[in-house]
Amino acid sequence: MDDVPISKVKVRAHLKKKWNKGGGCGVCGENAWEVQAEEFFLPNNEMDKRLSVCPVICSQCGNTMLISSSIVRKDFANRS
């Protein structure tokens, strides 16, 4: 299941469902998030594991959140 691509649409839908504070940025307070089109991978120190993430960036101040791709996948796998 981990090779299923994550789309911006899925990340946005996941955040819309989970975000409980109206979507304001914790740094500047604006609601100007941009979901990145690509999934990224953060390696651990030994480079033998990687964490897949979907970056969500505030276009006003640059604050960046990393949403776990596997949690988004689980969210959509549980919807049916």
Q: Report the interface residues with Zn ion, using CB under 5 A.
A: 25, 27-28, 58, 60-61, 63
Q: How far is the CB of 33 from Zn ion (least distance, A)?
A: 8
CA of 22: how far to CAs of 10, 55, 63, in Å?
18, 19, 16
Q: Which is nearer to Zn ion, 29 or 43 (CB)?
A: 29
CA distance 10 to 74: 11
Q: How far is the CB of 65 from Zn ion (least distance, A)?
A: 10
Count of residues making up the chain: 80
Q: Which is nearer to Zn ion, 55 or 76 (CB)?
A: 55
Token output for 60: 């006003």
Q: Which is nearer to Zn ion, 59 or 70 (CB)?
A: 59
3-class DSSP assignment, residue 42: strand
Q: How far is the CB of 61 from Zn ion (least distance, A)?
A: 3
